[in-house]
Amino acid sequence: MPARFRFAKVIPLFRFRTTEPSPGAGPHWRALLAPLAGVVAATGHAPFNFWPLALLGLTGLSWIVASADGGRNKAIAAWLGGIGYFAVSLFWIIEPFYVDSDRHGWMAPFAIILVATGFALFWALAGWFSARTGGGAIGWALSLSLAEILRGHVLTGFPWVLPGYIWTETPAIMGASVVGPYGLTTLTLILAALPVATPRKVIATLVALLGVAALIAWGQVAQVPSASHVGMIRVVQPNAPQHEKWDPEKASVFLRRQLLATSAPGNDVALVIWPESALQYRLDRAGPVLKHMANAAGGAPVVFGVDRVEGQRRFNSMVQIDADGSVTDIYDKVHLVPFGEYVPFGGLAKRVGIRGFAARDGHGYSAGSDVALIDTPLGRALPMICYETIFPRHVRRAGERADYLLQITNDAWFGTFSGPFQHLQQARFRAVEQGLPLVRSANTGVSAVIGPDGRILDSLPLGESGFVDVPLPAPRPATIYARTGDLPVFLLLLMGLAAVFSVSRAIPLSSLSESRNGV
**In residues, how long is the chain?**
519
Q: Is 74 a catalytic residue?
A: no
Q: One of 74, 95, 341, 386 is an active-site residue; which one?
A: 386
Q: What are phi and psi of 384, to 5 degrees?
A: -140, 130
Helices (H), 201-338: 201-222, 242-245, 248-263, 287-297
- Is 1 in a helix, a strand, or coil? coil
Q: Residue 456: in which H helix or E strand, if any?
A: strand 456-460
| SS3 annotation, 368-415 | CCCCCCEEECCEEEEEEEHHHHHCHHHHHHHCCCCCEEEEEECHHHHC
| SS3 annotation, 16-81 | CCCCCCCCCCCCHHHHHHHHHHHHHHHCCCCCCCCHHHHHHHHHHHHHHHHHCCHHHHHHHHHHHH
The alpha carbon of residue 284 and the mean position of all alpha carbons in its chain are separated, in whole angstroms, by: 34
Rounded CA-CA distance 485/508 in Å is 37
Rounded CA-CA distance 138/130 in Å is 9
Q: Is 276 a catalytic residue?
A: yes
Q: What is the DSSP letter of 152?
A: T
Rounded CA-CA distance 476/38 in Å is 37
Asked if 410 and 244 touch (Cβ cutoff 8 Å), the reply is no
Rounded CA-CA distance 320/327 in Å is 6
Q: One of 95, 276, 341, 388 is an active-site residue; which one?
A: 276
- The count of C-alpha atoms lying within 13 angstroms of the C-alpha of 160, restricted to the half-sphere facing its C-beta, is 27
Q: What are phi and psi of 375, to 5 degrees?
A: -80, 120
Rounded CA-CA distance 491/188 in Å is 18
Rounded CA-CA distance 486/465 in Å is 38
Rounded CA-CA distance 132/155 in Å is 25
Q: One of 333, 341, 388, 433 is an active-site residue; which one?
A: 333
Q: Is 291 a catalytic residue?
A: no
Residues marked active site are found at: 276, 333, 386
